[in-house]
């Protein structure tokens, strides 16, 4: 509650959003154009908004972007066209990242040079992924989606396993011996860790493999509409030795940049439906502000446990859907 007093724009957005959706629910003038009544459609919008808010808080704390929860959720529990789900998933992933970028850069938890290092590969990869998704949908349809969904689920399980095995080492990785490129780029950072009451210093290494992996992550994120945070955090943390909270913080901004380029093919194709995306977007913005302030205060172990839980749940769902589609 103190957050709502401290951040007046958060209060304004929350009140306006709730007000508008309650108004729509109670007073919509639309008729009955299909199997869902206008009241039911309004109810779906209000539910989407509230669910999105909860997802955003969890997603920002874990650094994964809401898309990795949203996209499998809708693919699993609704019959909505997969392109529409993926386009909306990119919006969901992007807006929690966009709104959390400001507070996290201000607090120093996210580092601008680390973000700018990853921005080009992730943005390029994401655009290629988005166009590939549209091309594949046109040429091969649902069967190819099933195979890729299955493979993605297995990759997520592998990443979750790596995070579990690395355990607490991943929260504050041991400094690496820097290669020449890493020394040249000098990706070092500093942030205050309230849970330990000390200042954390770090230096990112393995920048070439990290950059190449971010290119691949961008591609997968743009292709699946998942955003990519679920993979960006492990790349920054496990490969480049960035502390977990700093990785989660920088991941949000990287998602925003990559998805900010990847969304356009979907917009041009007409796959982004405004009425569906709007409540999800608003929930992400409000939840993203809350999540960003929480991330600066929570323990790194909570971030890791949340991330692992989300990865495993998402992976299992993806594997099930993949097998069903074959």
- Return the structure tokens found at 116: 């700018």
**Residue closer to another protein, measured from CB, 17 or 314:** 17
**Residue closer to another protein, measured from CB, 10 or 159:** 10
- The partner residues of 192 in beta bridges, in order of sequence, read 199
Count Cβ atoms within 10 A of the Cβ of residue 27 and give its class: 0-12 exposed, 13-18 middle, 19 or more buried. exposed
**Residue closer to another protein, measured from CB, 17 or 306:** 17
Name 20's Cβ contacts closer than 8 Å, sequence gap at least 6: none
Query: How near is the Cβ of 161 to another protein at its closest, in Å?
Result: 32
Count CB-CB contacts under 10 A for residue 20: 16
Q: Can you tell me the distance from the alpha carbon of 21 to that of 39, in angstroms, rounded to the nearest whole number? A: 11
**Residue closer to another protein, measured from CB, 156 or 263:** 263
**Residue closer to another protein, measured from CB, 225 or 310:** 225
Query: How near is the Cβ of 186 to another protein at its closest, in Å?
Result: 10
Query: How near is the Cβ of 240 to another protein at its closest, in Å?
Result: 16
Count CB-CB contacts under 10 A for residue 198: 9
CA atoms within 13 A on the CB side of 176: 23
The number of helix segments (H) and strand segments (E) in the chain equals 13, 2
Query: How near is the Cβ of 72 to another protein at its closest, in Å?
Result: 17
Query: How near is the Cβ of 138 to another protein at its closest, in Å?
Result: 6
- Return the structure tokens found at 16: 């306006």
Among 219, 275, 221, 268, smallest CA distance to 93 is for: 221
**Residue closer to another protein, measured from CB, 4 or 264:** 264
Query: How near is the Cβ of 298 to another protein at its closest, in Å?
Result: 20
């Amino acid at each position: 509650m103190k957050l709502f007093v401290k951040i007046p724009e958060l209060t304004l957005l929350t009140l306006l959003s709730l007000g508008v959706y309650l108004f729509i629910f109670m007073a919509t003038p639309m008729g009955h154009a299909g199997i869902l009544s206008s009241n039911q459609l309004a109810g779906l919008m209000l539910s989407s908004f509230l669910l999105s808010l909860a997802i955003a808080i969890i997603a920002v704390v874990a650094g994964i972007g809401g898309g990795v929860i949203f996209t499998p959720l809708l693919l699993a529990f609704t019959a909505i066209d997969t392109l529409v789900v993926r386009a909306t998933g990119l919006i969901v992933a992007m807006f929690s990242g966009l709104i959390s970028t400001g507070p996290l850069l201000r607090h120093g938890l996210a580092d601008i040079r680390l973000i700018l290092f990853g921005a080009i590969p992730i943005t390029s990869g994401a655009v290629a992924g988005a166009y590939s998704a549209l091309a594949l949908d046109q040429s091969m349809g649902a069967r190819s989606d099933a195979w890729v969904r299955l493979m993605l689920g297995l990759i997520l399980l592998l990443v979750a396993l790596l995070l579990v095995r690395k355990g607490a080492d991943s929260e504050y990785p041991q400094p690496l011996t820097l290669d020449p490129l890493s020394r040249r780029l000098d990706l070092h950072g500093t942030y205050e860790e309230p849970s330990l009451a000390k200042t954390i210093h770090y230096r990112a290494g393995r920048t070439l493999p990290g950059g190449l992996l971010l290119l691949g992550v961008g591609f997968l994120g743009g292709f699946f509409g998942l955003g990519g945070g679920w993979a960006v955090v492990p790349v920054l943390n496990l490969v480049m030795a960035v502390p977990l909270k700093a990785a989660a913080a920088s991941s949000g901004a990287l998602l925003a940049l990559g998805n900010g380029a990847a969304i356009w093919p979907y917009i041009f194709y007409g796959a982004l439906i405004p009425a569906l995306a709007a409540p999800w977007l608003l929930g992400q913005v409000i939840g993203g502000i809350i999540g960003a302030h929480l991330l600066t205060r929570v323990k790194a172990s909570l971030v890791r446990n949340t991330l692992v839980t989300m990865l495993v749940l998402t992976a299992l769902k993806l594997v099930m859907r993949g097998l069903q589609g074959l």
